[in-house]
Every structure is written in C-alpha cells, then in structure tokens.
Amino acid sequence: MARARKRDRLRWSKLYTFSCFRHPHTDEGGGGGGGPSAASGSPVGGPGFSRVVHCNNSILHRRKPLKYPTNYISTTKYNVLTFLPKAIFEQFRRVANLYFLLTAILSLTPVCPFSPVSMIAPLAFVVGLSMIKEALEDWRRFMQDMKVNNRKVSVHKGDGEFGFRHWEDLCVGDVVRVEKDQFFPADLLLLSSSYEDGICYVETMNLDGETNLKLKRSLEVTLPLEEDETYKDFRGVIRCEDPNPSLYTFIGNLEYERQIYSIDPFQILLRDSKLRNTAFIYGVVIFTGHDSKVMQNSTESPSKRSRIEKKMDLVIYILFTVLVLISLISSIGFAVRIKLDLPRWWYLQPEKSNKLDDPTRPALSGIFHLITALILYGYLIPISLYVSIEVVKVAQAHFINQDLHMFDEETGNTAQARTSNLNEELGQVHTILSDKTGTLTCNQMDFLKCSIAGVSYGVRASEVERAAAKQMASGAADDQDISLEDVWENTEDEIQLLEGVNFSAGNTPKTSIKGFSFEDNRLMQGNWTKEPNSNMVLLFFRILALCHTAIPEVNEETGALTYEAESPDEGAFLVAAREFGFEFSKRTQSSIFIKEKYTSSNGTIEREFKILNLLEFNSKRKRMTVILKDEDDRIFLLCKGADTIIFDRLAKNGRLYEPDTTKHLNEYGEAGLRTLALSYRMLEESEYASWNAEFLQAKTSIGPDRELQLERVADLIERELILVGATAVEDKLQTGVPQCIDRLAQAGLKIWVLTGDKMETAINIGYACSLLRQGMKRISLSTTAGDQVAQDAQKAAKESLMLQIANGSQMVKLEKDPDAAFALIIDGKALTFALEDDMKHMFLNLATECASVICCRVSPRQKALVTRLVKEGLGKTTLAIGDGANDVGMIQEADIGVGISGVEGMQAVMASDFSISQFRFLERLLVVHGHWCYKRIAQMICYFFYKNITFGLTIFYFEAFAGFSGQSVYDDWFMLLFNVVLTSLPVISLGVFEQDVSAEICLQFPALYQQGPNNLFFDWYRILGWMGNGLYSSLAIFFLNICIFYDQAIRSGGQTADMASVGTTMFSCIIWAVNIQIALTMSHFTWIQHVFVWGSIGTWYVFIIAYGMALKSRDNYQIMLEVLGPAPLYWAATLLVTAACNIPYLIHISYQRSCNPLDHHVIQEIKYLRKDVEDETMWKRERSKARQRTKIGFTARVDAKIKQIKGRLHKKSPSLTIHTVA
Amino acid sequence: MASDPAGDEGGGCRLRSICGGCDSDPDVVLRRLDTNTSAPTAPQSALPSPSSSSFPNQQEPRLLFLSPNPSKQQARKSRKPRDQPPALAESPPFLGPGMASNVAVTGNAGSGADGDAPRRNRPKYSKFTQQELPACKPILTPKWVVSVFFLVGVIFVPVGVVSLLAARDVVEIIDRYDHACVPPNMTDNKLGYIRNQTISKDCTRTLRVKKDMKQPIFVYYQLDNFYQNHRRYVKSRNDAQLRDYKKANQTTSCEPERFTADGKPIVPCGLIAWSLFNDTYSFTRSNENLTVDKKDISWKSDREHKFAKNVYPSNFQNGALIGGKMLNASIPLSEQEDLIVWMRTAALPTFRKLYGRISVDLKVNDTIIVKLSNNYNTYSFGGKKKLVLSTATWLGGKNEFLGFAYLIVGGLCIFLAFAFTLLYVIKPRKLGDHNYLSWNRHPSGR
C-alpha cells in the first residue's frame, strides 16, 4: 500500500491556481483557515455550538454527558411496540374508516340493526389488510436500514491498529479510514489523505446531484497523521456547532497540541458522499447517524394522493350527505310513526316500550333511530372500496415492477412503483418536468468528431444526425404514410446490421471504447501523419493529452490505464488522445508524461512535459490553460475553452482556420454535440518569465481581491492564441431518449427540461433530443444582473425581464403561421425573477404557449418552485423525473415523482414515487401502465359507487315499508358478505386485469393517452351516470320484487313469501345484476375474470345453500333448497330483474358505440375484425395520425421538413390528400 | 446504439402487429411466448451467455470483442479484482428495494460472479405478470346488440305469456270481513267490540264461486297494515327455545314478552307468538261441510327442525295481556302449524298467510257459507282482514304482474332490437371505421 501511495503523492495545491489555493501563513479570509486562530471571535462554545468531540477517544462518547446518538439509522415508521397503536391510528385517520369504527362500536349497543359481528368483521378485515400492508412496507424499510447499518468501515481500534466495524457501531470521536469509492459512514473531519497536501476528491451526487468532483482538504496540522500507526497517540478536541441541516456551512474548532485551529466546510466530509480519485483518507467522526447533515436534511416525502382519489373522496362526501339525508328522512318517519301509530300497534306492546321506541318521547326515539339508520344505510358507503383499491394498486404496482419491457438488462433494475397510490395518476400526466444530466443523458461523453486546422474529421454520425437522416430518407422515399414506429424499428435493424457487418469484417473493436466513438481513417492508425496539416494535428492531439487535470491510474492486472478526470469531457479527451497514439501515462508533481506513437509500426516515445502553470477551468472563465515546457525547452501555452471565449482571444495570425472551424462548430452544435475550441500559443522565455513573476505576486497576494487579481493576470497570458481546432463530444443521450420524447409529445404531453447546466449545453441537448429544432422561434430570457448588484440594478433587471416576457408573449400572439413553434429558454437568474409572485403568471402563460421550455442553471430549489408553479398554475398533473439529489425537491413537489435508478445516487429514487432505470421506460410507464391504471381505477370506483348505491338504497326502500323501524330485509350474513366476498373479487379483477386495448396498441396510438388527461372516465358526467344507474337498479330490484312477491302464493303448494324469501330473492337479484353489470363493463376477459365474475354468482348459491344447512340461519333455514329453489317464480323474478337492471346500460353502451364511438372502441373493432392485418396501409396511416400535432420531437422535425418540400413542390400535396381518402 | 431490450421491443411489436387482435388464438400466443422467452438468450452471439462467465480466461477477450456494449463489460472486469468487499464499494447508503436485493446478491456471490446480478434480478417471464394472458375480448357489434335484444325479447315474451296465462288460471275469492262482522250497533266502537270478551265474535259470510275451482283450494287470511316486519316485532322471538326443550329458559331477545308475571319463561316467547292470529274459519257448501285441512301448511323444514316435537307451549298467554290465539299445551310446537306459519314474518305490512286447504273442487255458482270467529283485533290499527280462497298453479297465485312485466321487458327488447336495426340501417357505421377515430373526426381540434 505504501508504494502505491507514493505514486499518488501529488501536491495539487501547487498546480491549481484558483479553487484550491491555501494562504500559506495566514488565517484570513474565511476560505483559508490553515493556521491557529483564537477562539475568541467565533461563536464556538456558545448556544447552538455545544458539541465537543474527543478525537480518537470515543469511549468518552459512550457515556453521559458526552453521549451522542450512535451511527444507527432508522427510517422506519414503526417499531414492534409502536406498530399497533400507530398503525391503527393511521388507519382511522381516514374518515370512512372512522365512520365504520363508530358504527362498529355502536353495533354493540341495541341501537344497531345488525348483529355486532356483521359490522366488526368487515372492518377488521379491511383494517387488518391495510395494516398488514403497512407492516410489510415498514419491514422492507427496516431491512434496507439494516443493510446500511451493517456496512463495514475501517476504524482505529487503538494502538495504531485499524479494523472493520459495522457502520451502526461507529461512535463520535472514532477515527476512520475510508478507501477510494467508499461512502463516508458519518460526517467526518478530514485529517489526512493519500495526497501529500491532504486533498481529497469527493463526489456529492447523493447530496446535491452534482457529478463533478469537489475538493476537500485537511488542516495542515493534521497532515502528518497519514499512517495507521500515527493514530496511536492522536488526541484532539473538536468543539463545533450542533447538528443542523445546512450542507454548506460548518463552524468549529480543533484543539490539537494545545493550539486551536478553526475548521471550515472544506475539512468536512459528509455522510453519503463518496471518496473519489483518492486512495484513502483518515477522518474523525463528528456527527453520527441522525445527527449527520444528510439525515438532518432528509425530509419526509409528502404523502401524495391522486386526482382520482381526491375526487373519489368528494363523491364519498356526497354519498355521506345522501346517507345523512335518507337517515334523516328515515328517523323523521320513524318518529312520526312512533308518535302516531305505535300506540295503536298493540301487537308491539307499545306500553312496554323502552326509550328506543317510546311513543311518548318520539323526538328522543327519533334521534336514537338516526344512529340506527346511519348504520343501516352505511352500505351506501363502500367500506371495502379503500381496501379494494389498495389491493388493486398493489397488484398494479406488481405488474409495473415485473414488466420485462421496463427491465434494464445492464443495471439489472426493474421499474419500481415505490408508492402504489399514484398508479392511476400516471395516466393523467399533462406536463413532464425533466432533469437533464443522468436523466436524458448518461453523463458519459463520447469523443465523436473534431475539426483540425479547418478540416472536419469523424465520419460517425451523432445520434441526432443518424436518426434525422433516416427520418429524411424514409420521408423522401415514401409519403408520410409510413408511421414513425416503422422508421424506428427499421433504424434499429439497420444499425444492428451495420454493426454486425463491422464485426464480421474483422475491424478492431475501437468502436466499443468508452468515451470514444470517433471513426475516421484519416486520423487513425497513425494515418494523420499523411494529412496536409499534420503539424496542426500533432498539436491538436498534444493539447488533448496535456491540457487537463486528470490522473492516470494503472490497472494492476491488465496494465491498462484509466483516467480519473474531474469531468467526463476531459476523460473522453484523454481516451481519444490515447487512441490517436498520445497516451497520457504519468503525472508527477511537475510533469506530464506522454507515450507517443505516431504510426502503428513505430515504437512509442515517452515524452515529458514540464508543467509551469495550470489555470484550471471554472464556469466563469470557461477555459482552461496549461503552460508547459517541452523537452526542447520551448514554452507552450495550451488553452481549451468555449468557442466564443477562445475566438475572442485569438491572435491575428491565429485566425487562419476560424471561418472553417466556426462552420464546423455550428454543424456540431446542430448535431447535438458539445464543443470546445482548442488553441495554443508559443511563449518566449522572457515573456513567460515576466508574466510568471506577476502571476506569482498575484498568487501570493493577500486580500479579498486576490481572485480578481489572479483572473486578471491569467487573462493577460491567455491572449494572442492560435486556433488549432475544435472538439465535438457527444453527451450521450440515454438509449431511446429522443424516441421516447417524441412519443410522449405525440401523446400530448408537455415536456420541460430543468437543468443545472449552462445554457449552451442545455440548448445542445435540446437539439439532441429534439426538444429544439431548426426553424423554431427561440425566446431566450436572461438577465445580465450579477450576484451582488444593488437594489435598483435588481429592479432594472426585473423590468427588463418583464419586457422580455411581454415581447415574447406579443410575438407568440402575433404569429400567424399555425405551425410556428416557439421555444422558451430561460436561465436561472432570470428565473428567480420570473418566479416572483407578480411575474410568475405572465411567465407561465408564455411558457405554456411555447412548444418546449428549457430552464438552465436552475438550482434545486428553483426546480421545485417551477414544478409548483406549473402544478398550481395549470392545475394539471405534473410529473417530475430526475436522478440526482438536486431533483429531490422537484420530485417531491410534483404530483408524481419519478426517479432514475441509474448508476449512483439513490436520493432521487428514495424520494420518488416510481423509479425506472432509464428515461425511455417513462413512455411505457405512462402510455401503457398509466393508461391502464387510470381506466381501471376510474371504472372500478364508478362501479363501486354503483354497486353500493344499488344495494344500499334497497335497504332504504324497505324501511319505508317496515314502518321505518330499522329492520333490514336481508339477513345479517348477506350484508356482511356482500362487500367483502360476493362482489369484491370481480371488481378487483376489473381493477387489476382490465385492458381496453393491448399494450402495443397503447404505444402505437399515443393519442389514446389523452383520454386520461381529459379525464374521460372519471368526470362528473360519468360518475353521476353510474350513480344514476345504481339508483335505477335499486328501484328496479326493489319494486319489481315487491310487486312479484306482494301477497300471492309463490309456490304451487300455496305458500306465501315471508321476509326471508323476499330478502333472499332480492339479494339474488342484486348479485346477478351487479355481476352482469361488471361483465358488461369489462372488455377483457381472461380466465381470471370469468372465474371471479361467474364464481361470485356461484359462490352466492353455494353460500345460501350452505347457510341454509345451519339452524342458526333462522328463517333462511333451507331457504334455497326447500323454499326458493323449487319455485319457478324465484327464478323468473331473478331473470326479469337482472335483465331489467342491465338493459339501460346495454342501451347506453350500444348507442354510444354505434353513434359516438370513442377511439378505443374503434380500435378494438379494427383489431376484432383483423382489419389491421387486412388493410395494413390504413392501419399504418391511422397509427401515424394517432398523435397529437407536436411541435417538438423528431416527428415535428420531419413535418417541418415535409412542409418545406411541399412548399417547393406545390403540386404534390393534392394527390396526397386524395390518397388518404381512398 | 441498438441495445438489446430495444431490439427485442421492436421485434416483438412487429410480430404482434401481424397477428394483432387475436389474443385468444393459442397459436399466436405460443409464438409470442417464444419471442419473449427467447429475448434474453436470443442475442447469444452478441451477449455473453451466463454460463460462459465462469471461464473468464478463455472467453473474455472474445466476448469483449463481440459485446455490443463492451464498456459495461470492461467496467465489470476492472472492478472485479479489487479485494474489498463489493458491497462496501458499490452500494450507496440509501437503497431502493430493488437495488437492495441486487446488491445483496452481488455481495453474497463473492466469487466474482457479479455479472450475473442483473440476470438474477430479471423478473421471470410469465403471461400473468406481463399482462399477456390470453383473453377473449368481446365487443358489441351491431349484430350482437340486435341479437341480444332480440333474444331477450324472444325469451321474455313467451315467458310473459305463459306466466300471464298461469295467473289467469288462478281463481280467487277475496272477502273482507273485518267491517262486516262488526254488529251494526258497534260500528262506531269497533275497538270496544273486539275487546269485549262477552260479545260473541261469531260471524257468517256467504261467498259465491264465480269460476270453477279445482282442488286444492287454499284458504288464506290476509291482513293489512300489520307491521310484521317491524324491527321490534321481528326481533322478538327465540329460535333456540323452539327447537330444544332444554332451552325453554332461553328467552333473550323476546322482549317484552319473556316472562309471565311470576317470572316463568314463556314458551314460545316473544311478540310474534304472542300476537298469533286467532280468527277461525269453517266452510259449508249447501250443508256439506268442507273440511279445512290444516296439515302441512307450513314448510317441512320448519316443522322438522325449527319447531321441535318435544317442545310444548308453556305459560303461553298467561300474562295480564292476552294477545292472540291460545295454544293447546298438550300439542307439541311442531304440530302447531298455525304458529309455524305465523312465525314466518311477512316482508310487507300487507300479507297473506296460509290457513288451510280444502281438498274439494268448487263449481261455479256454488255458495259457500263461512262461519268465522272474528277474534283478532285489527281495529285498533285500522287494518283490514280478508279471507281468501284461491287455487294455485305451478307459478303460485294470481300474480299477473310478473307476466306483464315480462311482456313489457320482452316487448321493449324487441322494440330495441328493431330500433337498433333501424339505427344501423339509417346511420350505418362500418365496424372499425377509422373515420370515426377522433383525429379523423375533429382534425382541426387537435
């Protein structure tokens, strides 16, 4: 290990100019903090800063008073003890459940019209089921926690010995050693690292979603603590702030060797961030477990409810109202009957009545009866609705989880429905807000093209180019009748074919190198030496190989080099350089070694370049420069940076290739590539010396303007550059992203991209995934206002933005061409103003007018704010998708949060409602599962209302005939089983298995998705329709039966019907009617539906026969076998009532289908008649038409192109339309 | 990059669109199953098969070369040699459920087979989980609509006719006697009349047979406005007591008729039994006594199981208040059929109960003299009392409603069948006519 460490010993601080500079002898200026400082001025020790950590002496922290929580984390809701009370409390927070609980309690009193068990059993069943679900979910959470808690970390065990210990056993004050690519187990104070100057790189993806590495550095005094043994006697005391959620601040002191040093955030390593590019670090634990900043930051994700469920609640409230109303009617009726009639009903012995039916106190009795009635008619409120929905949603979630089409072979991740209560919301999405990095792109850069000395190299097309070319080709070859899917399918095939050919031809597998997709024989295999400008090419390659801050790492087994670069672009450059024969092999403190290999036959030469200065990249400078000396002692300045920045700094004689390069840069930009311009400059020794002197002075200067000084000096040398060329790197889109966006757009979804990236990158990606295209009118909103400008400047900026928005809106309004598309691009600063209350609606209006919206440089908070604006401003369902911790706010704020469970960062996934492993699965998640789930749940809820109204109202009608006495015509057991057994399974099968059209049709006809956002299946019209149907059915069932069984004999034996036989017949009718009804509702019968629907009817007969065997059944004893079964009248009544109940619905659906068919009806018919096979042209044409007219996506690009062509060839268009009609 | 899943999707789609809409076709289902199950293994030429990873030395270079996504392969390879526990290095602190299991698998495998993890995580293909179960997808074609309505009509109309005819066959004589049997001097004080034990309640009614009546002729009494379905009434009984003599003491729920004044349990207890109907009828036809057969007027199961042979009435109607009929304490309950019939509470306030059977045919214009004792008090609540003589058919009594209802529903269905036929003729819509798709109907609206 020691040897490996030696090699890593680089003093970056000597090289870095801006970010990592340490004031050597001062503690001035917050960022430094190397030397000892007095604690007098700091708040440490005061309130809020009471924490004391005895380093390497954790025993002190195992006892009071310095006992801090352990590193054990628990995210569970319950534990063994609290589960029952808490879970029960949770259950009864639902109004409906509370109501049922109340009725169950009341059922123990004589007020109740039923036996207590018939009230308590369903409730216990329903609540029990939900609680089991809760328990299972919590168990999963617990297992997850255990996994984290049981991770191992190397801890100092005393006497300089380190050993592994579980994370959960970690204590404040422990010294830990964290190896490369491990997560920090707790918040640590960095003591030393494998680098000599105590630097380490940290990836904070889990905290803020940023993929670039962050530098941390230890205090100078702790630098010697770099070996295991040195910790034998290490003692120190940290006094610092109490646990708080602020990730970017830290105030504290380290008391070490009788000196006090102040600690700042630079020395703090946060739990859940990852050590990168550094072999190991030592750190001392400051905050453990729930005290750590990341845990303090974790907020409980808000519980979300779907629109349908909210509306369902409303309907339930309506039903409650109806319930109260009929209960009131009933109790008033009861009171009146009691007052007026009961005294005359001698057979009830009114003189012996108790207070429940006391003719002398009718009001009191009426009030008691109100309670009875509320319980009795409780069947209006579907008790099993919630639990059925829960069951259905769990099943739906299971289908989502199991869907092989959403399984990612590479990561082995399936889609996960993390909360199942939003399934149907997936079918109603209106706007998608997407993160860019890691969501649309893989954050993997591929070197694809370059322009050297005015010549463009790289024959491989970018994804955008390829797809567009194919689209064009197909568009030209045929009419637009060819549907998009075919094009895509063909593309896939062709590409596969091409690659197959490549492989079989025995090509070297260059194409498969990560980060390198370049292909051009002019440059490869050393052929570049034959190029006319080979000098320039050489220079270009050297710039690639030299101008960076990466470190090579040798894989010990294979000897292959990998590069640890700060950004993926840089990595791609280095890989490219290596492939071109310029392998960056070693970096020392002052030199870079490159193995150059000009031609394949030549051997390699190792060259050493001395680094004189390194002016690293930052977002403000947008360039990076190295100044180095080659083996011939010539001094070069190599600079790469954004094209605009470089072009501004070119020398007069350096502009030779500018026009060509500019052209190429534009082409690359169009192809969706990220571009950088490369340039160089030769420096004279003297020139350099004088500049360096100035630079050193600036570097060592003290004071707040040091940064400015440095920048100014750096600027001095980065001039008079000579342009060499430009690189084009493909920020690889994730597989299928443009296709997915295209189809989502066709499904009528709006897509907004919110990214932390700079505007150029965002726009490039916008092009790459077809959110932007040529000919789109771009409205860019930005402000020039800096960070700390004065009040009036802010105001001015705001006003200018206001003007921009107004202009934009005006432009949109005045646009005559209906096909014109607008794109809105706004940057973060402008967004801060745009999100203010007075402006946000203007902004939103403009944004909704635009076909695509891209927000750049957006902070996580702004992402959440934008999401809220869209959600609340439009009142439509929003879906946020992202992969990083910076998307968490947005994911939690949106109606549906989708996390990409890609490579790292589980924060987004943890906060999300659904997780998928690739963006392209979103299409299937929404268009297939969302569509289905929406329809299923909507139909299911409607049916539930119907079913319970049908049943509940018959009870009410009977009341009127029973003197409002609260007698039910049905046996208690019938009531109990109605919701729980006899009608629940069919409706669950509807909710789980119904498919109006198959998955592939959902995908082929994205327009079908619009049924969800338009809420065709759960609008008030439909809900009321179903309720009306229920009302009608209840009337039909009750009155038909009453008339049939009025007073006459029901059998040839002369027997008349008693209450039991009337009740049983009515109940039979209900079972038949509601089950036939659901069969009519379904359009998809697998064996499961058949079993459930017909089985329910069968179960009823089995039950009533079995029940009839039991003497306990009172008047229902032998009712089916002896009384009703042999009576033709019973069967005649069942048939009549069942038919009468369902005829109106049958009329409705027949009429609707014949005169007003919905899209899925027609498609079902086409499929049914196999027209899609017989008339393929029609089928294809409809598929291509079945999309929203989009202004974004590939289709729109093609449409625009076709319009262009059409514009030129006027004659062609009429023939096209004729063709369509035929 | 044509990655494997995408290719599969494309291929699957195309195949499906060829055989679309025929999910129930087993042949097709089989084929689809093939495409799907073969998906993971099909690109064997391109992807390393799981087994081959156990021979890394021989296979890997070639695999790397062939793999469509070697970067992944490379990454895996480079990760493998590290000797730290893989779980430590790879899993982020927070794990989704899916990830968690993945990592667990990786960690346990240990032997460098972590390349298998994605495969193990792969959901197993089943038609159920992929929601591809064969299904029949009936749709309402005009043919179906018309034939369903027509069929319902064709079935319902004859059923209606038959049941109407059956109802018409029934001959029924209804005589309301509650009013007529009150002596003329007491019509203003009917309650006084019925409560006065001293006044004879005997009464004679004359009935004329309007149509031939075939035996058996059922004798019913019909009460109006009598709430046998009142909850207080319905509850007031105890079945255990009736079927088991040992449980005579069980009078729970019999309120308010549980005990006699001296606290003895009443058998049968409760309001229902207490208020037993006690009018009696006897019939003569021109001096010929028509015997009323009161056997077997109740349900057999009631007699045999619910009312026991060894339970005798005790303390019945012993209280201060006497409700209805007295029961002969020497006859077991199972033979007290009037009680058994009465105890089957009626669903509606108007009800008929079987009184007995006359096993003699009655001829048209026969005069039947009914001697009845008008004991039962319906006067206090204004209820009517009727005596009904009725024959019955296979369908039961004179129930014309059922027949009419069937005729109406059946007629409606036939009408609807014609209406829909007409609709399809006048406003035909070709099935699956793409012009009805919303984007063709409202091209501008989109």
Give the pLDDT of residue A45: 64
Q: Which residue has the higher pLDDT, A1020 or A5?
A: A1020
User: So what's the pLDDT on residue A1207?
Assistant: 64
The pLDDT confidence band at residue B22, using thresholds 50, 70 and 90, is very low
Is 90 exceeded by the pLDDT of residue A297? Answer: no
Question: B255 and B208 share a domain?
Answer: yes
pLDDT of residue A784: 62
* φ and ψ of B329, to 5 deg: -70, -10
What is the percentage of chain B residues whose pLDDT exceeds 90? 22
Q: Looking at the partner chain, which of A409, A1118, A1170 has a beta carbon nearest the beta carbon of B301? A: A1118
Tell me if B395 and A1052 make a contact (CB, 8 A cut-off): yes
DSSP state of A1121: I
Strand partners, A262: A253
Residue A217 marked in a binding site: no
Complex-level ipTM:
0.77
Q: Is residue B367 assigned to a domain?
A: yes
Q: Which two tokens stand for residue A157?
A: 């065990």
Residues B191, B294, single domain; the answer is yes
B355 and B403 together in one domain: no
A1013: how many CB neighbours lie within 10 A of its CB?
18
Asked if B386 and B413 sit in the same domain, the reply is: no
Place of tokens 């030395």: B57
Inform me whether the pLDDT recorded for A906 exceeds 80.
no
Whether B182 and B326 share a structural domain: yes
pLDDT classification of A1201: cutoffs 50, 70, 90: low
Residue B115: phi and psi, rounded to 5, are -65, -20
pLDDT value at residue B402 = 92
| Residue A1196, pLDDT score | 67
* Residue B235 shares a structural domain with residue B150: no
- Write the pLDDT tens digit of every residue in A408-434: 887 778 888 887 778 888 999 999 998
Percent of chain A with pLDDT over 90: 12
DSSP for residue B258? S
| Same domain as B258, residue B161 | no
Cβ neighbours, 10 Å, residue A746: 25
Q: Which of A655-669, A959-973, B148-162, B202-216 has the highest mean pLDDT?
A: B148-162
Cα separation, A56 vs A526, in Å, equals 57
| Contacting residues of A for B64, CB less than 8 Å apart | 509, 512
Nearest by Cα to A852 from A723, A932, A755: A755
Sign of CA dihedral A995, A1001, A1004, A1008: negative
Query: What pLDDT does residue A641 have?
Result: 87
Residue A530 and residue A523 in contact, taking contact as beta carbons nearer than 8 Å: no
List the one residue out of A181, A197, A185, A164 whose CA is nearest residue A278: A181
Residue A1137 confidence (pLDDT): 95
Among A83-92, A408-417, A497-506, A1080-1089, name the one with the lowest average pLDDT.
A497-506
Task: Name the least confident of A183-192, A668-677, A1130-1139.
Answer: A668-677
Q: What is the spatial distance between Cα A1178 and Cα A1025, in angstroms, rounded to a whole number?
A: 35
Among candidate residues B395, B411, B409, B397, the one with its CA nearest the CA of residue B163: B395
Give the count of domains, chain B: 3
Best to test chain A binding among B13, B62, B132, B230 (most A CBs inside 10 Å): B230
> pTM score, two decimals?
0.79
Q: Is the pLDDT of residue B100 over 50?
A: no
Residue A482 reports pLDDT greater than 60: no
Residue B280 lies in a domain: yes
CA distance B106 to B102: 6
Residue of A nearest to B358 (CA): A1054
Indicate whether A1029 pLDDT > 90. yes
Question: How many Cα atoms sit within 13 Å of A935 on the Cβ side?
Answer: 23
The reported pLDDT for the residue numbered A552 is 79
Expressed in percent and rounded to 5, the helix, strand and coil fractions of chain A are 50, 15, 30
Residues 6+ apart with CB under 8 A from B232: A348, A353, A357, A965, B271
Q: Please state at what angle helix A837-849 crosses helix A791-814, rounded to 10 degrees.
A: 30
Nearest to B345 among A153, A1058, A1140 (CB): A1058
Burial class (CB in 10 A: 0-12, 13-18, 19+), A686: exposed
Per-residue pLDDT of A11-41, as tens digits, reads: 665 566 555 444 443 333 333 334 444 444 5
HEC letters along A1139-1193: HHHHHHHHHHHHHHHHHCCCHHHHHHHHHHCCHHHHCHHHHHHHHHHCCCCCCCH
Question: A1023 by DSSP, 3-state: which?
Answer: helix
Residue A571: pLDDT over 90: no
Q: Which of A435, A446, A643, A895 is catalytic?
A: A435
Domain range for B81: 1-34+58-108
Q: Which amino acid is at B278?
A: N
In the prediction, which pLDDT does B80 show? 38
pLDDT digits (tens, 9 = 90+) for A688-709: 889 888 888 887 776 667 778 8
Whether A799 has a binding-site annotation, put simply, is no
Q: Quick check: is A435 catalytic?
A: yes
Residue B115 resides in a domain? no
Q: Give me the mean pLDDT over the A816-821 stretch.
A: 72
Check whether residue B104 and residue B198 sit in a common domain. Answer: no
User: Nearest CA of chain B to the CA of A989: how many Å?
Assistant: 12
Task: Based on the fold, state whether residues B86 and B207 are members of the same structural domain.
Answer: no
Chain A positions touching B300 (Cβ under 8 A) are: 1122
From edge to edge, which strands make up the β-sheet containing B385-390? B172-176, B385-390, B217-223, B351-358, B292-293
Residue A359 CA to residue A353 CA, distance in Å, equals: 8
Mean pLDDT of the A806-810 span:
84
pLDDT of residue A70: 82
Alpha carbon of A180: minimum distance to chain B alpha carbons (Å): 8
- Specify the DSSP class assigned to residue A446: E
Instruction: Output the pLDDT for position B386.
Output: 92
Chain B partners within 8 Å of A353 (Cβ): 232, 256
Average pLDDT over residues A484-495: 42
Sign of CA dihedral A868, A869, A870, A873: positive
Q: Does B65 touch chain A (CB under 8 A)?
A: yes
Of the candidates A346, A412, A1154, the beta carbon closest to that of B142 is on A1154
Residue A640 marked in a binding site:
yes
| Backbone φ, ψ for residue A553 (5° rounding) | -130, 130
Per-residue confidence (pLDDT) for residue A83, from 0 to 100 = 84
Please check whether residue B118 lies inside any domain of the structure: no
Interface mutation vs chain A, best among B83, B124, B232, most A CBs within 10 Å: B232
User: Are the beta carbons of A326 and A956 closer than 8 angstroms?
Assistant: yes
Q: Answer yes or no: is pLDDT of A669 > 50.
A: yes
Question: Do B280 and B420 sit in the same domain of this protein?
Answer: no
pLDDT at position A902 is: 66
3-state secondary structure A188-203: EEEEEECCCCCEEEEE
Chain-chain contact of A409 with B5 (C-beta, under 8 angstroms) = yes
- Given pLDDT bands bounded at 50, 70 and 90, which one contains residue A497? very low
Peptide bond before residue B256 is cis, with ω within 30 degrees of 0: yes
pLDDT band at A715 (very low <50, low <70, confident <90, very high): confident
* For helices A362-376 and A95-106, angle between their N-to-C axes, nearest 10 degrees: 120
CA B431 to chain centre: 36
Would you state the pLDDT for residue A22? 45
| pLDDT at res. A38 | 41
| pLDDT bracket for residue B81 (50, 70, 90) | very low
Whether A505 shows a pLDDT value over 50: the answer reads: no
| Nearest-angstrom CA–CA distance, B421 and B425 | 6
- Residues of chain B with pLDDT > 70: what percent? 72
pLDDT of A1092 over the 90 cut: yes
Check A344 against B399: CB less than 8 A apart: no
Domain-embedded: residue B133: no
A87 in Cβ contact with A131 (< 8 Å)? yes
- Token representation of residue B131: 């929601």
- Other CB atoms within a 10 A radius of the CB of residue A221 amount to 18
Rounded average pLDDT over A223-235: 83
| Measured distance CA(A771)–CA(A432) in Å, rounded | 13
Please name the member of B2, B100, B123 whose beta carbon is closest to the beta carbon of A496: B2
One-letter amino acid for residue A212 of the chain:
N
Q: What is the DSSP letter of A325?
A: H
**What is the tens place of the pLDDT at every residue in A544-568?**
888 888 877 777 677 777 787 777 7
Q: At A1094, is the pLDDT very low, low, confident or very high (cuts 50, 70, 90)?
A: very high
- Cα(A1008)–Cα(A1186) distance, rounded to whole angstroms? 8
Nearest to A685 by CA among A615, A635, A632: A635
> Where does the pLDDT of residue A467 fall: very low under 50, low under 70, confident under 90, or very high at 90 and above?
low
Average pLDDT, chain A: 80
Residue pair B315/B268 in contact (Cβ under 8 Å)? The answer is: no
Q: CA-to-CA distance for A207 and A667, rounded, in angstroms? A: 37
Same domain, B161 and B181: no
Is B43 inside any structural domain? no
The pLDDT, as a whole number, for residue B118 is 52
Across B323-329, average pLDDT:
84
Q: How far apart are the first and last CA of chain B?
A: 34
C-alpha–C-alpha distance, residues A184 and A1160, integer Å: 53
Nearest to A464 by CA among A745, A773, A726, A676: A773
Is B335 inside any structural domain? yes
Main-chain phi, psi angles of B237, to 5 degrees: -165, 165
Please give the pLDDT value at position A469.
65
A597 touches A538 (CB < 8 A): no
**Which residues are CB-neighbours of A413 under 8 A, at least 6 positions away?**
A407, A901, A915, A917, B98, B99, B102, B118, B121
Same domain, B218 and B364: yes
| Residue B358 contacts residue B352 (beta carbons within 8 Å) | no
Residue A684 has pLDDT above 60, yes or no: yes
Spatial CB neighbours of B146, under 8 Å, sequence gap ≥ 6: B417, B420, B421, B424
Q: What is the pLDDT of residue A695?
A: 85
Give the end-to-end CA distance of chain A in Å, rounded to a whole number: 78
Please enumerate in sequence order all residues whose Cβ is within 8 A of that of B434, keeping only pairs 6 or more positions apart, or say none.
A1162, A1166, A1178, A1181, A1182, B440
Is residue B131 included in any domain, yes or no? no
Predicted local confidence at residue A20, as pLDDT: 46
Cβ pair A22, A32 in contact under 8 A: yes
What pLDDT is recorded for position A276? 80
Tokens of A940: 């299911």
Beta pairing, strands A441-452 & A722-733: antiparallel
Backbone angles phi, psi at B66, to 5 degrees: -85, -25
Confidence band of A489 (pLDDT split at 50, 70, 90): very low
From residue A130, how far is each of A137, A387, A679, B140, B433 by CA, in Å? 11, 7, 66, 38, 46
In whole numbers, what is the pLDDT of chain B averaged over residues? 74
Alpha carbon distance A680, A720 (integer Å)? 9
The H or E element that residue B357 is part of is strand B351-358
Cα A1091 to Cα A1101, A1104, A1213, distances in angstroms = 15, 19, 55
Which pLDDT score is estimated for A879?
Answer: 92
**Residue B27 reports pLDDT greater than 80:** no
